[in-house]
Amino acid sequence: MSFKHTVSGLILAGGRATRMGRVDKGLQPFRGMAMVAHVLQRLAPQVAGVAINANRNLPAYESYCTPVWPDELSGFEGPLAGLQTGLRHCDTPLLLTVPCDSPFLPDDLAARLHQALSEQDADLAVAVTMEVDESGQLRRQVHPVFSLLKTSLLPQLSAYLDSGNRRMDGWYGAIRVAEVLFDDAAAFRNINTLGELQQYEHGAPANAPTLAQVVGCLADYDPEALPVRHAQRIIGEFITPIEAVEQLALRSALDRVLAADIVSPISVPAHDNSAMDGYALRGADLPGDAPVTYSVVGTILAGRPHALTVGPGQCVRIMTGGVMPDGCDTVLPQELAALINDAGVTIAPGVIRAGDNRRFKGEDLMAGTPALKRGKIIRPADLGLIASLGLAEVAVRRRLRVAFFSTGDELRSIGQPLAAGCVYDSNRYTIYGMLQRLGCEVIDMGIVKDDPAALEAALRSACENADAIVTSGGVSVGAADYTKQIMAALGDVTFWKIGMRPGRPLAFGKIHSNQHSAFLFGLPGNPVAVMVSFYFFARAALLRMMGAEAPLPLLRVRSSTAIRKKPGRTEYQRGILGTDADGRPQVGITGSQGSGILRSMSEANCMVVLHDEQGNVAAGDLVDVVLFDGLV
Ligand code: AMP
Ligand code: MG
**Ligand 1 nearest-atom number relative to CA 407:** 16
User: Of the ranges 81-85, 129-133, 291-295, 473-477, which one carries the lowest mean pLDDT score?
Assistant: 129-133
Residues 6+ apart with CB under 8 A from 342: none
85-114 residue pLDDT tens: 999 999 999 999 999 989 889 999 999 999
385-422 residue pLDDT tens: 999 999 999 999 999 999 999 999 999 999 999 999 99
Of the listed ligands, the closest to the CA of 524 is 1
Maximal CA-CA distance, the chain: 101
Of the listed ligands, the closest to the CA of 410 is 1
The 8-class DSSP code of residue 312 comes to: T
CA of 447 to the centre of ligand 1 (A): 11
CATH number for the domain formed by residue range(s) 245-266+368-397:
3.90.105.10
576-620 residue pLDDT tens: 999 999 999 999 999 888 888 999 999 999 999 999 999 999 999
Nearest CA to ligand 1 atom 20: 425
Given strand 292-300, what is the order of strands in its sheet? 330-333, 278-281, 314-318, 292-300, 344-347, 339-341
Domain 4-195 homologous superfamily, CATH: Spore Coat Polysaccharide Biosynthesis Protein SpsA; Chain A (3.90.550.10)
CA of 554 to the centre of ligand 2 (A): 33
Q: Does 279 have pLDDT greater than 90?
A: yes
Percent of the chain scored above 90 by pLDDT? 74
CATH number for the domain formed by residue range(s) 555-627:
2.40.340.10
Q: What span, in angstroms and rounded, lies between the C-alpha atoms of 369 and 372?
A: 9
Residues 6+ apart with CB under 8 A from 94: 3, 6, 7, 8, 114, 117, 148, 149, 150, 151
Fold observed for domain 401-545: Molybdenum Cofactor Biosythetic Enzyme; Chain A (3.40.980)
pTM for the whole structure: 0.72
Ligand 1 neighbours by CB, cut-off 6 Å: 406, 408, 410-411, 423, 425-428, 472-474, 476, 479, 524-527
* pLDDT in the model for residue 341: 96
Strand partners, 9: 50, 96
Q: Where are the domains of the chain?
A: 4-195, 245-266+368-397, 273-359, 401-545, 555-627
Average pLDDT of 170-197? 83
**Ligand 1 nearest-atom number relative to CA 524:** 2
CA of 411 to the centre of ligand 1 (A): 8
Nearest CA to ligand 1 atom 17: 525
381-391 residue pLDDT tens: 999 999 999 99
Average pLDDT of 221-225? 92
511-536 residue pLDDT tens: 999 889 999 999 999 999 999 999 99
User: Nearest-CA neighbor of 147 among 185, 190, 97?
Assistant: 97
Of the listed ligands, the closest to the CA of 598 is 1
* pLDDT in the model for residue 114: 97
CA of 423 to the centre of ligand 2 (A): 11
CA of 18 to the centre of ligand 2 (A): 55
CA angle 226, 404, 482 (to 5 degrees): 65
Does the domain spanning 273-359 belong to CATH 2.40.50.140? no
**Ligand 1 nearest-atom number relative to CA 596:** 8
**Ligand 1 nearest-atom number relative to CA 425:** 20
Q: Does 330 have pLDDT greater than 90?
A: yes
Q: Does 199 have pLDDT greater than 70?
A: no
* pLDDT in the model for residue 519: 97
Q: Residue ranges for the binding site?
A: 12-14, 25, 53, 71, 101
Q: What are phi and psi of 311, to 5 degrees?
A: -100, 180
